[in-house]
Amino acid sequence: MTISELAVDVQQLSHRYRGAERMAVDQLSFTVHRGEIVGLLGPNGAGKTTTLHAILGLLQPTSGVVQVFGASPLTQRLQVLPRVHCASVDVDLPSNLIVMECLQIFAKLYSVQNAASRIEDLLERFELTTLRRHLVATLSSGEQMRLKLCKALLNEPELLMLDEPTLSLDPYMAQKVRELLKAIQRERHLAILHTSHNMREVETFCDRILFLHEGRLLAEGPPRAILERFNSRSLDELFIRVAATGELIDVA
Amino acid sequence: MLHRVGISSPFGGNSWNGTSRGSRQRILAMFQRYLFLHRRSLIRVFDIFFWPVMDLLVWGFVTVYLQEAMPSPLAGLMIFLIGAMISWDIHYRGQQAVTISLMEEIWTRNLVNLLIAPLRLWEWIVASLLYGALKVGVVTILLALLAKALYAFELWQAGWMFVPLAVSLLIFGWAIGLLTAGLLLRFGYAAEALIWGIPFLIQPFSCVFYPLSTLPPWAQGIARCLPSTYAFEGLRLILQHGSAPWTIWLPIVSLNLLYTLLGMAWCVWMFRHARAMGHLARLGQT
């Protein structure tokens, strides 16, 4: 694998928040390649959000190196950010704008060419066309999540970070969104870094998973291989074991 | 540091524009974002005008009362209170517009969307300043018209000199706005009381409604460090004598330049500090 095929390269990443007793992330190293879907898993407080924030340049890690497409998201943010986007359940869109205004503003911020047709295409794909004149605040949580995904795909990113993208979607819509994201990912050879507590989704959606606990990487590999290696029937079972004991016993 | 780079990805799709045209587009986007807030919210439109109009009514009637109660040579001076109130509002609204732009993003949990967008910090600041200037311009015109209709006070009797004095007060408002935005970045919601209170900390030393000589010597020392003091002294002289000496412009320009640079440096420093601490994405929660 050559450097140019790396979307994300995290080496020895550590971060401790001021006043915290333990490290939020501790000596974490991993890579994400172009065209790969990687799941970032772990119980609450495992360090998933801190890792995502470090990749997005939202925090300066205590130590370690983060590179996105070979550039630092901290010091070369204008080389990194146009090629990256993120949709998170914890980040809202301006509720006091209508759907079209919201997307138009972000299209301008990302210098999207042919913005009008791009917006129409995304609204249609995510079944939001009829809501284009609606105030964001009046959308259901599922509709808002789909709008966040539209916004996250506006600039045709090469790396997409998804934080619980299907949490507020009903099973039918969640399945549709997963299929749509898979299709877009194949079309564009997109790298996706995905966090979710829906283990079934992770098993089917991700090519590879990173299992974190208390800021450390416990296991890494394709979902099937991880299950075999740790003698587990499902990721759900494995997740509960990690959350309860804080460790994984390698049987391979 | 924020670099000026154009991106041409070999993988197509994203085509972020690092040129001045791209900057204009992003500034316009942020400016529109704030304008759209008022499009369908009467409450927000009402909020722009309510407090300045209430202030004008109070100070206007105080002026009328003092004019009636005082001997005629002094009564003419009292009209200055209305001009001072309108001018102070320019400074205050300028400060508020910068800070509220940032508060708005925290309230709506939209801050992270902007921080991960290829938007330069200065582009965002410029959009906030323009939004503030527009609000100040509209409110000042309304207040001037109301003052003329209700109290026969003509703001334009100050002549063309009023324009640069008003601009200097607006710039000082922006500088204080950058200071308060920095506090918000550093301390989150905990700094909210300071954000609303800082303009009122400055007001007594700015000699808005009284001459500099009214203050005790220790307070005069503080007042001389504020560009607003010279602007209000100048405004008083213009309303009283029809002109002000050119010498007031040296402290006004130099102090405004100093405070604006300090405000920018403080804001950038606090931004970097908040990022280093990991506070940026958690601002709405602290």
Question: Which residue in the set A79, A105, A112 is minimally distant from B33, CB to CB?
Answer: A105
Average pLDDT, chain A: 91
User: How far is the first Cα of chain A from the last one, in angstroms, to the nearest whole number?
Assistant: 26
Give residue-wise pLDDT tens across range B36-67: 888 878 888 888 889 899 999 998 888 888 88
Interchain proximity B277–A81, CB inside 8 Å: no
User: Is A189 close to B11, i.e. CB distance below 8 A?
Assistant: yes
CA-based nearest residue in chain A for residue B39 = A97
Q: pLDDT confidence of B4, banded at 50, 70, 90?
A: very low
Distance from CA of A154 to the nearest CA of B (A): 9
Provide the pLDDT confidence category of residue A148 given band limits of 50, 70 and 90: very high
Rounded to 10 degrees, the C-alpha dihedral A194/A199/A203/A204 comes to -80
A13-48 pLDDT, tens digit each: 999 998 888 999 999 999 999 999 999 998 888 999
Q: Which residues contact B219 (CB under 8 A, 6 or more apart)?
A: B204, B205
Quickly count: other Cβ atoms within 10 Å of residue A251's Cβ. 9
Contact A92 B110 (CB under 8 A): yes
User: Which structure tokens are listed for B29?
Assistant: 């986007």
Two tokens, residue B69: 């109660």
Instruction: State the best of B11, B33, B38, B113 to mutate against chain A, taking most chain A CBs within 10 Å.
Output: B113
pLDDT in tens, B101-153: 888 888 888 999 999 999 998 999 999 999 999 999 999 999 999 988 998 88
Tell me whether residue A184 is exposed, middle or buried, using C-beta atoms within 10 angstroms of its C-beta: 0 to 12, 13 to 18, 19 or more.
Answer: middle
If one compares B257 and B77, the residue with the highest pLDDT of the two is B257
CA–CA distances in Å: residue A157 to residues A26, A87, A89, A196, B168: 28, 12, 19, 20, 43
What is the distance in angstroms between the Cα of B2 and the nearest Cα belonging to chain A?
7
Per-residue model confidence (pLDDT) at position B9: 38
Q: What pLDDT digit, counting tens, does each position of A164-222 carry? A: 888 888 888 888 889 999 999 999 999 999 998 888 888 889 999 999 998 999 889 99
Q: Which residues of A touch B40 (CB under 8 A)?
A: 135
Chain A residue with minimum CA distance to B285: A90
**Among B14, B25, B185, the residue to mutate for chain A (most A Cβ within 10 A):** B14
Residue of A nearest to B276 (CA): A60
Does residue A120 register a pLDDT over 70? Answer: yes
Q: Taking CA atoms, what residue in B is nearest to A160?
A: B116
pLDDT (0 to 100) of residue B12? 38
pTM for this structure?
0.86
Q: Is B116 exposed, middle or buried (0-12, 13-18, 19+ CB in 10 A)?
A: buried
Model confidence at B238: pLDDT above 90: no
Geometric angle at alpha carbon A51, from A47 and A56, rounded to 5°: 150
Cβ contacts (< 8 Å) between A58 and chain B: which residues? Answer: 112, 115-116, 275, 278, 280-281
Give the model's pLDDT for residue B8: 36
Q: Which of B116, B119, B269, B272 to mutate to test the interface with A (most CBs of A within 10 A)?
A: B116
- Mean pLDDT value of segment B268-286: 81
CB A229 within 8 A of CB A221: yes
Top-confidence residue, B258 or B38: B258
Query: According to the model, what pLDDT value does residue B64 have?
Result: 86
* Beta carbons of A86 and B116 less than 8 Å apart: yes
Is B18 in Cβ contact with A78 (below 8 Å)? yes
Q: Is A40 exposed, middle or buried (0-12, 13-18, 19+ CB in 10 A)?
A: buried
Q: Can you count the helices (H) and strands (E) in chain B?
A: 11, 0
Percent of chain B at pLDDT exceeding 90: 46
The tokens for B216 are: 């005790």
What residue of A is the nearest CA neighbor of B7?
A79
pLDDT of A168: 82
pLDDT recorded at residue A27 = 95
pLDDT number for residue B240: 80
- Chain A CB contacts of B185 under 8 Å are none
Alpha carbon distance B144, B148 (integer Å): 6
CA distance A97 to chain B (A): 7
At residue A62, the 3 state secondary structure works out as coil
Q: Which chain A positions have a beta carbon within 8 Å of B117's beta carbon?
A: 81, 106, 109-110
Tokens of A230: 């740790």
With beta carbons less than 8 A apart as the criterion, state whether B256 and B175 touch.
yes
User: Who's near B218: CB < 8 A, 6+ residues apart?
Assistant: none
Cβ B252 vs Cβ B281: under 8 Å: no
Q: What is the pLDDT of residues B144-189, one digit of tens each?
A: 999 889 988 887 777 778 889 999 999 999 999 999 999 998 888 7
Contact assignment for A17 to B2 by CB distance below 8 Å: no
Residue A29 backbone dihedrals phi, psi, to 5 degrees = -135, 130
DSSP assigned state of A169: S
ipTM of this predicted complex?
0.90
- What distance in Å separates the CA atoms of residue B134 and residue B208, rounded to the nearest whole number? 23
A34, A33, A148, A31: which is closest to A89 by C-alpha? A148
Tell me the pLDDT band of A4, cut-offs 50, 70 and 90: low
Q: How far apart are CA B222 and CA A88, in angstroms?
A: 48
Q: What is the pLDDT of residues A76-115, one digit of tens each?
A: 988 999 999 999 988 999 988 999 999 999 999 999 999 9
Return the pLDDT at B38: 84
Residues of A in contact with B3 (CB under 8 A): 76, 78-79
Residue B219: pLDDT over 90: yes
Average pLDDT, chain B: 86
B14 contacts A158? CB cut-off 8 A: yes
Pick from A108, A155, A188, A193 the residue to mutate for testing the B interface (most B CBs within 10 Å).
Answer: A108
Question: What pLDDT, on a 0 to 100 scale, did the predictor assign at position A102?
Answer: 95
- 8 Å CB contact of B118 and A77: yes
Look at residue A2 in the predicted model and tell me its pLDDT.
Answer: 53
pLDDT at B85 over 50: yes
Per the CB < 8 Å rule, is B9 touching A113? no
Residues of B in contact with A81 (CB under 8 A): 16, 116-118
Residue A32: strand, helix, or coil? strand
Is 70 exceeded by the pLDDT of residue B17? no
| Predicted confidence (pLDDT) at residue B11 exceeds the cutoff of 50 | no
pLDDT above 90 for A154: yes
